[in-house]
A and B are shown apart, each in its own frame.
Chain A
Amino acid sequence: MSDLNVEKIKSESRALRGTLHDSLADPTTGAIAPGDTVVSKFHGIYQQDDRDARTERRDARLEPLYQFMLRVRIPGGRVTRAQWQALDRLADKYANGTLRLTSRQAIQFHGISRESLRDLVRGIDAVGMDSLAACGDVNRNVMCHVQPELGGLHADTLDWAARLSAHLTPATAAWREIWIDGEKVGLEGGDEAGEDEPIYGRAYLPRKFKVGIAVPPSNDIDVFSQDLGFIAIEDDCNDERDHNHHDKRRLAGFNVVAGGGMGCSHGEPDTFPLLGRVIGFIEPEQMLELAEAVVTAQRDFGDRSNRKHARFKYTLDDHGTDWLLEQIRQRSEIELQPARPFEFTHSGDAFGWTERADGHLQCTVFVENGRIGPRQRAGLMELIERHLEDFRVTPNQNLVLTGIEPSSREAVGDLLAEFDLEGGGRRSVLRKHSMACVALPTCGLAMAEAERYLPDLITRIEELAAQHEIEDQPINIRMSGCPNGCSRPYLGEIGLVGRAPGRYNLYLGAAFNGERLNRLVMDNVDEAAILDAVDGWFRRYSAERDAGETFGNFSVRSGLVAAVVHGSEVNAPASDRP
């Protein structure tokens, strides 16, 4: 994509139409036109190819095995029974038979042929889902915790997440025109197209934009990794709150977190992950206006000349917090209040069973790397058709089963076991706190394996943890196939970022609750070197940790790695280490 003029393509796309209509009809290729690969992302559709098949096909004078990934946008991650049934059926009919839960609570289909795209999109539309703005230089899927049943604060924030998502969704009719109606209509000129998009304008944003809402003490959405994050703050007037009476908790408003983001490039020190900074507090009713102010500030000030410097995190890092507050003031007349106190204890998911206020049960199930294959699909279909209200996709690529009658608990447990789904303690806490992106063979950016390899690596690491008797300690281990960081690897207590097949950059020292980035400790190393390093760390952790001390915090306190204060230090040379 680097050789494409993305800004030109966007602004000439006639509100995201491009030449997709013609591209879809070209019989000589399974691809879409190069410019349309940019446009299609805004429709939630990535052109990829089976990288495992590249060499064989090139030798056979065949073009790459082009196929598409479609990302269903699911604000807050809630999937109804009817929707799940549709997704399940569509995965078999038009995709590769799997569903992929993502680290942004979306669901992806992989391996779709171009010819099947329209049928698949129509299939999700029929159950009230869409893929518009699931990718592209716009606001992506709005993340939020997934269990509103846990209390009023949760329900309110989820409601705000939905309103925010709707507010920031592109206004263009192109998605429906191209995929559902299939007719070649729409704007011929370029100028009026921009008027369709009051927030984004003709050229949309300089780069993708990510928004999420966290409810302490869980930082499951990694609020500091978002371009724009919100931390739900409880009304502190109610100082006699009782955790057993959830309905007494009230949403006071949100702390606003700005300028986080994961992506960077190997060997380019001007690119780095950054944690968002807390810039103040707003009341709930100010949320949409504030978000629009931040988004339009990024639209107008983001760097459109260099995509590697275009994320909002750089805009804010370059201009500073005061500039942003002034932009917000000018664009919305909102004056932020001082931030309120909050405490996060963890960023991973809490697995297992919880009881709702209404007496029903919910169960958070581990889905390794978010991949749901045919067998797990069969199990989940049986569960949702017989025992559940719906599914929730968690920010860590797992699933919550909701609305289970207490009398069904045993039956649900049996089904989970039968279909090799994780409801209880059969998998290690290490594994359940691991996360990998998709990477090979479909992702065009991947430099090394992630999803297909991490499970094996975790098995090795489990052995080390057992040797050092720390196997009950949850440790966030995150692997990405490239430095763009879809699995948020720079927030892993142990992070692995692909360099080349079989080789990774190894990171250490992020906080378990997502409030501190990790730091590069070994460059371009193979599995043996990784395991050797982890073995040493575990030995010391086992011997020297304080009671309740997380692995990431220990690694900093003990001097295994120096804490990162600013994201530009993440990839800094090892000489910075004490």
Chain B
Amino acid sequence: MNANALDAVAPLLSVSGLSKHYGGVRAIDELEFSLPRGAVLGIIGPNGAGKSTLIGLLGGALRPTAGRIQFNGADVTRWPAAERARLGIGRTYQIPRPFLDLSVRENLLAGQYALQPLIARRQAIAASTAILERTGLADAADLPARALPLLRRKRLEVARALALRPRLLLLDEVGAGLVDSEVGELITLIKALARELEGLIIIEHVLRVVRECCAQLMVVNFGRKLAEGPTAEVLASEQVAAVYLGTAHGGGAPSAAPAAAVSGLTSLVAAEIPQRAASAVALLELREVHAGYGLARVLNGVSLTVRAGQAVAILGTNGAGKTTLAGVISGLIRPTAGALYIDGIDRTGTAAHVIARLGLAQCMEGRRIFAPLSVEENLLLAAGAVRKLESQRRLDQVYQLFPVLRERRSQGGTSMSGGQQQMLAIGRALMSRPRLIVFDEISLGLAPLVMDQLYAALAALRDAGLTLLIVEQDVQRALDLADEVHVMEHGRIALSGTAAQVRENPVLRHLYIGTAD
């Protein structure tokens, strides 16, 4: 048997006894698996299961506490990240880390020049152009990466990893936040890559991607392997439903915790009108608002009314202007035309901190937790200058709503899993005892079970009288929660109505819900 034949038999990647401990916390614990040549392996698991740690260990960013990683027959356990990349292991970051002050194309060239310092310039440019076209970034090639919004940065993560011409590609939640048609594009790309590359590992919460792209699926929980096998079988197992999928997919899941807390939420919710019947007072009103960045027009005349006690959802594809709208409401983005009224008073152009003081809080896209502060400090900071007794009372109620935050109170804010950070972000918005909270994409990148918990908490807050404005990608969950729904398209509101009306509208079904689930 010659070396080539041996190559074909040995798995591309094999991991044995892999562990990573942080102090007493076992992020990855005795993990064992292998990836045959040409295979696509999906990895799912609850937030905080250790999936991103695993990617870090495979890519070389983290050193394992114990265990062995073999790539292509070589033991790479102790190899630094750069050497593994040169061997052909490419990875993406779940939270994109582009080279901010390089152009999008230079982000790709960095990898190409690092591997082939003497490659002809024209060849490198052509290769980068091809990758940018494939990943839908061709129009942004000369923009600084800093100018890209979150979801395009995710595309850049994929593009940059491809610039390495990897043999094995590790994709960490690249599908988060995409609408159905974009998920379709992503699946097409992944399937094409699966034919070109020697192996793919996909960590993903968007189940459609997992279902359509991965033949094999591994479920990770508490750093250990919970299940492994053909994707359909694994997804159908009851054990997986219990720890991961939650109610939306048929498994029985706990949703009781927030309901029990409803009675005690009065310290967090400044509702003058306790019953949910929409009052005559327009808490927030936008009239023909136009806004944008430089020459890019994002909002083209949006009118919107939110009454006290209402739950209003804004739906729409990426790039429809949802996040910009949230920015206008918070006072971070100044509209170029139109007006913003709060309690019937014109507040157009009022500074963000003044608007916050009027009782409008934000739960921003991307969470924006203060990393150097502990969980409790993050929360207390948001309470502002209230008496200690009062802030303590609010703190207790946030902990009641999200008990896990109490357990992690002295931990660093960003050391928690994605779902817990999102809970912290919501808790922080609540600490100022607002009348209205704008929730911007809170379900982005979360496991279905965690989304259930978050939405149960939102329902409890709604029932306690808080006014909610939800900007959301997850149509189904938003429709379940909201009284009134607006669908945005190209910077204006294309469709409005009650949740029931919108649900029945065939246009929406076609555009955003699709038929996959």
Bound pair (A, B) = no
